[in-house]
Structure 1
Amino acid sequence: MTTTAHLPGTTPDTRGSGFAPLLREIKAAGLLERRTAAYAISIGVNVALTALTWIAIAAVGSSWWVLLLALPLGILTTRAAFFGHDAGHQQITNSRRLHDWIGMLHGNFVLGMSYAWWNDKHNRHHANPNHTDKDPDVGEGILVWTQQQAEGRKGLEGWLSRNQARIFFPLLTLEGFNLKVSSIRFLLQRRRTEQVEIGLMVAHLVCYFTALFVLLSPAQALVFALLHHMIFGLHLGSVFAPGHKGMEMPGEDSDWGHLEKQVLTSRNINGGLATDWMMGGLNYQIEHHLFPSMPRANLRFAQPIVQQYCEKVGLPYLSTGLIHSYRMGLRHLHEVGRELREEKAFTH
C-alpha cells in the first residue's frame, strides 16, 4: 500500500474519542483482566515439552535422525518467544518486576536474545505501526518497504530490493541468528545497566552448545543448531509478518488517532483453532494492537466485538486467510522493487 494521510470514508480519531466506547465495551466484557493461572499452566506445559524434546535428543544420541527433533524444538522455542512477548506487554501478572523476570528467562536464557532490546524495538513498533520513520520493523534495511527507500540502491542492495519478494521466506530462516546478533550489539552498548541480561545470554550459549556437543558429534551439533535456528526464524517471522506487511503506511501528515492507526495498519488471519495455536493467537493482530496488554488467549473473544464496532463507525477491518495475507505482503514487496527492476532492464 502507498503512504497515505487519511482514507476516504473514515472519520479521524485525533483525540482518541472514537476508541473510548470500544474500550469501555472490552473492559465490561472482562477481556483485559489477567489470566495468570492459565499462563502458569501454559508456560509449565511448554517447559515440560521442551524438556521432553531434549530428553529425546539425548535418547537418539549421535545419529543424523536427531535432526528431525529440530522441528518440535523450533516450534516450542517460538512458543517461548510468545511468552516473552506477552511479558513485555504486561499481560501475565500485575507485577512489572515479575514480568521482567519472565521476559528475561524466556528471552535471554531460553532464546539467547535480549528482552530489553526486544521491548525497545517492539514498543516503538506498537506506538507507530508501519510508519517508516518511527516503526523499526519497516525501517530501511536488507528489505525496503517503500519506493523511496528503494531509490538509488545499487550492487548487492539493489539485487536484494529487486528480488525481495522472492527471497522473503528464505531470509526468514536467518532471523533466529539476527535476533541474537542484534541483541548482543544492543547489550554491549548498554553493558553497565544490562549485566543480568548479558549473564543470562552467556548461560544460554553455554548450556545450549554444551548440551549439543556432549550429546551429538561436532558435525551433528552444528547442523542441528543451524536447522533449529532456521526453523525458529521461519516460524517466528511467519507469525509476525502477515499482520502488517502490505497494509496502510501512515505519513507525517496523518491525523489518525489510536483506533485508526492500529486498525488500518493491521490485518487478522482466519483459520480456526489450529491457526490460533500455531500463531500463538497473534493472528488477531488488530485486537492485539488495540489492546496490547490483553492476554493473548482473550484476543479471539475480543475479535467479534472489535469487528462489529469498526463496522458501526465505518472503519475498514481486514480479516483474511493466511495464504492471501502472504500474497498481499509479497505483492507489496514486489511492487516496491518495480522501478529498480525497470531500471535494470533498461540498462540492458
Structure 2
Amino acid sequence: MAPQEKEKIPAANGAPPRDRLLTWADVRSHDNKDDMWFVIDDLVYDVTHWAKRHPGGAKILRHYAGQDASEAWLSFHNDKALVQKYMKPLCIGRLDDGGPQATDQIKKDFRELRETVDKMGLFKPSYTFFGVHLAHIVLLDVLAYFIISQYGAGWVPVVLASIALAISQTQAGWLQHDFGHLSVFKTKWMDNLAHQVVIGLLKGASSAWWKNQHYQHHAKPNVIHKDPDIRVEAVFVVGDVMPVQVAKKNKNGPPYNLQHLYYMILTVALVPVYYHIMVYRFIFTRQKWHEAVLAVLFPAIFVTSFYPHVGLGKTIAMYLMMRAIESQWFTWATQMSHIPMEIDTDKDKAWVTMQMHATCNVEKSHFNDWFTGHLNFQIEHHLFPTMPRHNLYKATPLVKSLCQKHGLDYTVKSLGDAFIDILRSLKKSGQLWQETHSHTWLHG
C-alpha cells in the first residue's frame, strides 16, 4: 500500500490518531512545502497547513519535512509543555519501525548532556550581565553625542563619534541576538518584546525578519538551499560542493577565483546596502507596521541628534561610516566559525553531527568574548541556542567529552587564524570553481 493511501486508514478500534502506526517510508514521502510531515520523539506530525502560523516561520519546518526533528525541537523551545499543547492536534500517528531515535546513540547521549547542563543551571541567565551589557551600549551612544556636541563638526570628532557608534551598533547586535534566542528572560513574551525594541529602536531593523533568517541558519547550518547565510551564489561560492554546482550550471558569472580578494570590499557594503534593502522589503511585504515604526524611529533619532551639530552631509557620512565599520566587524566575527567548515547539501545528519561539522570555536579571552558577543563559542551556541551566552564556556568540557566519544572534531582556533581561514577557504572554493568552470565550458 502506498504511503499516501496508508495515511487515510483510520486508527484501529477508534483509537486516537497518535496510535496510528506509520513507517519511515510514509514520513519521508511527505517532504515538501505542500505536504510536510516530520517526527518528534517517534510521533508523526502533519504541519502542512499549520506551518504559516509557526512563530519561527514556515521555512524552518519545511527544512525538516520528511525527517526527524526531535533534537531541533528540543533545542529551540524553552516552553516545551506549552508548545506540546499546540502540537497535539497536529499528531497523526507514531512510528512502528523505531526510527533513528531508537538506534542512534549520539542522539541519546546529547539528550543526557542537555539534561546535565540544565541541572547545572546553565540555562539560567544573569540579569546583571545583560544589564551591564545594555548600559555600555547606551554609554557609547552618549559618548558619540558628547564628542559631537562638545568638539563640533570637524572630521576628527566626526570619525571618533562614528567609531563609538559602530561599536555600540555591533554590541547592540549581539544583545538583540540574545533576546532573539529567548535566552534572557524566563517568559517568551518578554524576550520577544525586548527583541523588537532592541533590534528596532536601537538598530533600525526587524525582529520578524531576523528570526525568519536566523532560525533557518540554526536549523540547518551550512546546508545548501536551506541555510540563508550561504545563499551567496550571486557573489561568492563556498565549500567544496557549491563551486562545482555553480560552475556546471552557469557559463557566465562573477570571477569567483578572485573572491578572497573582493570579500574584504563587498563586506563593507553588507549592512549599509544589502541588509537595509532586505529588512525594509520584508517589513513592507509582510506588513509588519509596528516594526516599521520602530525601524524608522532609529534613523529619525539619529538625524535629530547629530544634524543640528554637523549638518546633513556629515550626518549622512557618520551614518555610513558607522554602518561600514559595523558591517566589517559583524561579517568577520560571524563567518569565521562557518565559512571554513563543511558546506554541503542536506544529508539528514543527527543534530550534534550536523552542528559540529558546520561550526568551530575561537579561543576564550575577555576581548574575544566581548568582540564576538561570545560567538567565539559557536559550537556550544549551536548545540544549545537558548543558553545564555555567558554560560556557553561552562558547557565546553562536556561537549568535548561527547565529541571524543563519537569521534567528532572539536575545532578551536585563535582569532587571527579564524580570520585568515575565511580567506583561505574562499580562495580554495574559488579555485575549485575555476577548475570546474574551465573544464565544463572551455574544454567541453
**Normalization by structure 2: what TM-score?**
0.70
Letter aligned with residue 104 of structure 1: Q
From the superposition, tell whether residues 52 and 287 of structure 1 become closer, same or farther in structure 2 (CA, over 3 Å).
Answer: same
Aligned residue runs from structure 1 range 26-37, under 5 A: 26-37=117-128
Decide whether the 8 Å contact of 1:13 with 1:258 is kept in 2: no
Q: What amino acid is aligned across from residue 117 of structure 1 in structure 2?
A: W
**Contact 1:164-1:333 at 8 Å conserved across structures:** yes
Displacement of 1:250? 4.1
* Structure 1 residue corresponding to 2:271, chosen from 176, 189, 192: 176
Q: Is the 8 A contact 1:267 1:319 kept in 2?
A: yes
Q: Describe the shift of the 1:255–1:221 C-alpha distance in structure 2 as closer, same or farther (beyond 3 A).
A: closer
Equivalent residue for 2:206, pick from 114, 119, 123: 114
Q: Which residue of 1 aligns with 2:29?
A: none
2:371 matched to which residue of 1? 278
Matched, 1:150 2:246: yes
Alignment equivalent of 2:321, drawn from 223, 227, 234: 227
Give the Cα–Cα distance (whole angstroms) in 1 for the partners of residues 300 and 261 of structure 2: 36
State the structure with more CA Rg. Answer: 2
1:84-103 to structure 2, matched below 5 A, reads 84-103=176-195
Q: Supply the distance in 1 between the matched residues of 2:145 and 2:245 (Cα, whole angstroms).
A: 44
Equivalent residue for 1:129?
221
> Does the aligned pair in 2 maintain the 1:288–1:299 contact within 8 Å?
yes
**Partner amino acid, structure 1, of 2:111:** A
Contact 1:114–1:180 (CA<8 Å) still a contact in 2? no
Q: Which residue in 2 is equivalent to 1:80?
A: 172
Matches within 5 A, 1:208-219: 208-219=302-313
Separation in 2, partners of 1:72, 1:204: 16
The share of aligned pairs that are identical, in percent, is: 27
**Superposed CA offset, 1:108-151 (max 9, x none):** 11111111101110000000000011100111332222214531
- Aligned residue identity for 1:121: Q
Contact 1:18 1:259 in 2 (8 A): no
* Residue number among 394, 408, 415 corresponding to 1:301 in the alignment: 394
C-alpha contact (below 8 Å) 2:106/2:352 kept by paired residues:
no
Measured after TM superposition, the shift of residue 329 of structure 1 is: 2.5
- State the Cα distance separating 1:197 from its structure 2 match: 0.3
Residues 278 and 149 (structure 1), Cα distance of their counterparts in 2 relative to 1, 3 Å cut: same
Partner in structure 2 of residue 187 of structure 1: 283
Higher RCO structure (Cα 8 Å, ≥6 apart): 1
Shift of the alpha carbon at 1:344?
A: 6.8
Matches within 5 A, 1:20-99: 20-66=111-157, 67-99=159-191
Equivalent in the alignment of 2:420: 327
- 1:341 Cα shift? 3.7
Distance in 2 (CA, whole Å) between partners of 1:149 and 1:328 is 22
Are 1:244 and 2:335 matched, yes or no?
no
Contact 1:150 1:336 in 2 (8 A): no
Aligned partner letter, 2:260: A
Q: CA separation in 1, counterparts of 2:148 and 2:364?
A: 32
- For 2:385, the equivalent position in structure 1 comes to 292
**2:114 partner amino acid:** L
What is the rounded CA distance, in whole Å, between the counterparts of 1:58 and 1:79 in structure 2? 23
Deviations 1:158-201 (A, max 9, x none): 22x2321112122221122222221001111111xx11100011
Q: Once the 2 structures are TM-superposed, how far is the Cα of residue 52 of structure 1 from its aligned partner?
A: 2.6
Structure 2 counterpart of 1:5: none
Aligned partners of 1:126 and 1:13: how far apart in 2?
21
Q: 2:290 aligns with which of 166, 178, 196?
A: 196
Residue 410 (structure 2) pairs with residue 317 (structure 1): yes
Task: Give the drift of 1:23.
Answer: 1.0
Structure 2 equivalent of residue 9 of structure 1: none
The separation in 2 between residues aligned to 1:115 and 1:87, in whole angstroms, is 10
Work out the CA distance in 2 between the residues paired with 1:309 and 1:41: 33
The amino acid of 2:377's aligned partner reads Y
**Letter matched to residue 351 of structure 2:** H
Change (3 A) 1:149 1:71: farther
Counterpart position of 1:260: 353
Please tell me whether the aligned partners of residues 287 and 303 of structure 1 are also in contact (alpha carbons under 8 angstroms). yes
Question: Per-residue displacement from partner, 1:87-111 (whole Å, max 9, x unpaired)?
Answer: 1100110122221221122211111
- Alignment CA distance shift 1:164-1:54 (3 Å): same
Amino acid in the other structure paired with 1:186: F
Structure 2: 5+ residue stretches without partners: 1-102
Root mean square deviation, CA, Å: 2.3
Task: Give the alignment's TM-score, normalised by structure 1.
Answer: 0.88
In the alignment, what sits opposite 1:338? 431
Partners of 1:266 and 1:286 within 8 A in 2: yes
Q: How far is 1:223 from its partner?
A: 1.9
